Amino acid sequence: MFYIIGLGLCDEKDITVRGLEAVKGSSRVYLEAYTSILMVQKERLEAFYGKELIIADRDMVETQSDEILRDADKEDISLLVVGDPYGATTHTDIVLRARALNIPTRVIHNASIMNAVGACGLQLYNFGQTVSLVFFTETWRPDSFYDRIKENADLGMHTLVLLDIKVKEQSEENLARGRKIYEPPRYMSIPQAVSQLVEVEEKRRSGTLAPDSTLAIGLSRVGGGSEERIVAGTLAELLAQPPEVFGEPLHSLVIVGKRIHHLEVEYAESFAVNRETWRDVARRVYGCALD
């Protein structure tokens, strides 16, 4: 059996009982380590699970899946994934490869940012398309995400923006020269994300992401207990905050849609940089009826 097991959002204790049983019964256990990260090191996972973990980076998962799936038709093999297994298309692909080889598969689900984002007070059924925001470079500044945010905004829906992470990435020079030299890990912060959104708004000028009249909520380490941070405000207010306000990575960002309910406004108000501004923009720009 080939298991893909969600680990949840925080640490070694977030795995489900069913997932832990599968890990303990597996002859090889891989830890996928590039679509997201946990808040603890591999050694803590190994100590809690009682198993040695094999790091599966992007190259292994995407180009060497045969090695991961080796003998999975005869014994139990597990691939551990931060969050939920179906949070990334890569994991769908490896399930399809296993099925093509007639290897039985089982997915064991867990919490992910896709549902835990509700911690900010916005209702999950009011979210539209989720978008990803990548690090801009000098030569590559893609803005197709803006169209998805605008589509959501036109429907009044919230948008969850997943922020880029770079783990075991090569520089353009090393990639061109074929050198297996990797850059230090990088995790996009909420201020950097907002800066990039504002840059694209200045180019597009549709008003979808107008800094002073667009409400947004930044989240970090959701599910991490005392390490969790949630900060709400206009895009301009979030951009003005010192970086330490947002806590340690991983960060996510929500662009608030205009169908926001007054209970959502009131819940998220407790996270606001400025409560008066939060309520004023919600009432004046978003048309939310507040007492």
Write out pLDDT tens, residues 243-272.
999 999 999 999 999 999 999 999 999 999
Give the bridge partners for 230, in sequence order.
219
88, pLDDT greater than 90: no
Amino acid at 69: L
CA gap 7, 29 in Å, rounded: 13
* ∠ CA 192-221-145, rounded to 5°: 40
pLDDT 10s digits, 7-58: 999 999 999 999 999 999 999 999 987 777 887 889 999 999 999 999 988 7
The answer, as to whether pTM is greater than 0.95, is no
Q: Which of 131, 137, 116, 136 is nearest to 162 (CA)?
A: 131
| Contact predicate 260/152, CB 8 Å | no
CA gap 285, 282 in Å, rounded: 6
